Amino acid sequence: MENKQFEDVFEAKLAKNEMIEPKDWMPDNYRKHLIRQISQHAHSEIVGMLPEGNWITRAPSLRAKVVLLAKVQDEGGHGLYLYTAAETLGTGRDELLEALHTGKAKYSSIFNYPTLTWADIGAVGWLVDGAAIMNQVMLQRTSYGPYARAMVRICKEESFHQRQGYEIMCHLSFGTAEQKAMAQDALNRWWFPTMMMFGPPDSESPNSENALKWRIKRESNDQLRQRFVNQTVQQVEYLGLTVPDPKLKWNEEKKGYDFSEPNWVEFKNVISGNGPCNKERLAARNQAHKNGEWVRAAAQAFAKKRAQKIAA
């Protein structure tokens, strides 16, 4: 077939809402776009284990510890599904990790903020996982099959994570005055960074046009951010806390809240590697990779021996 014919088949599949699979023909830019997004998503899951992982030893009860441990393990699993999905596009795991470890690849801005108190673990589960689900539900119907299928399982687990965080926020908000103040302080610090997770405003989002055209994303950054605010304000009210935004106001006409823009200068600074914890996060990932060197070597030696045995 001519290139044009391949392109027509690809476009027809998208128009019929059919999935594109690894062996199907796809435009180079579609492949590149997916590798960029899926690998950044995978890196986010793995780096996202760090701010929560440092609270496992300090969780306030055995139950809280077990639940947090399970959540952090889930994030590791999400990273693995996503790296595998990216590999089906013809890229190697080593190459992807190299890009993370050298600071070439991006990962979610949110994981460059510190978790200072136990209330932050509540806020991360509730707000960060809540924002992640808001974005990821649409990705279950993304046009690339392996990514869509990975997202189905990820979304199920993220829902549990959101409940885990909200439960912590409920305990603190309905606890002593000191606990409630901790919950409010965490909300104050995490609200705007969470809003940044959805990406820059649509008018400044260079990748959105192709993402929407190719059905990689089904909704825009601003649409998802608006939905997140509309849904989360009710949860804040239930907790008896206050959204740290004096401009937050219900707008009857648009049936949604008006709200302040996050600080986009801060966002650009964070995604350029200059956020509060960027250096610490990259150093931790590099160290973990180095510590795992003997495991990778042992697994490769085992696989080699097994192959030799089968061949013999």
Nearest in space to 48 (alpha carbons), one of 127, 115, 108, 136: 108
Nearest in space to 79 (alpha carbons), one of 311, 304, 288, 308: 288
Sole binder of ligand BYC in the list 146, 200, 262, 275 (CB under 6 A): 200
Q: Does 106 participate in binding ligand BYC (rule CB under 6 A)?
A: yes
> How many C-alpha atoms does 169 have within 13 Å on its Cβ side?
28
- Comparing CB distances to ligand BYC, the nearer of 48 and 146 is 48
Which range binds ligand BYC by CB under 6 A, 104-112, 225-233, 274-282, 297-305? 104-112
Sole binder of ligand BYC in the list 39, 91, 115, 135 (CB under 6 A): 135
Give me the 4-23 binding string for ligand BYC, x by CB under 6 A, dash otherwise.
--------------------
- Comparing CB distances to ligand BYC, the nearer of 31 and 180 is 31
Which residue number is nearest to ligand BYC in terms of Cβ? 48
Which range binds ligand BYC by CB under 6 A, 102-110, 183-191, 233-241, 289-297? 102-110
Give me the 232-251 binding string for ligand BYC, x by CB under 6 A, dash otherwise.
--------------------
Nearest in space to 149 (alpha carbons), one of 19, 23, 28: 19
Q: Does 278 participate in binding ligand BYC (rule CB under 6 A)?
A: no
Angle ∠(208,161,284) on CA atoms, nearest 5? 75
Q: Does 184 participate in binding ligand BYC (rule CB under 6 A)?
A: no
Q: Does 199 participate in binding ligand BYC (rule CB under 6 A)?
A: yes
Q: What token pair was written down for 236?
A: 């804040």
Q: Are 259 and 245 in contact (CB under 8 A)?
A: yes
Report the alpha-carbon distance of residue 259 to residue 73 in Å, rounded: 35
Sole binder of ligand BYC in the list 88, 140, 179, 207 (CB under 6 A): 207
SS3 per residue for 93-105? HHHHHHHHHCCCC
Neighbours of 25 (CB within 10 A): 14
Neighbours of 128 (CB within 10 A): 26
CB of 207 to ligand BYC, least distance (A): 3
Q: Are 148 and 82 in contact (CB under 8 A)?
A: no
Query: What residues line the site for ligand BYC (CB under 6 A)?
Result: 36-37, 40-41, 44-45, 48, 75, 106, 108-109, 128-129, 132, 135, 196-200, 205-208, 211, 217, 221, 271
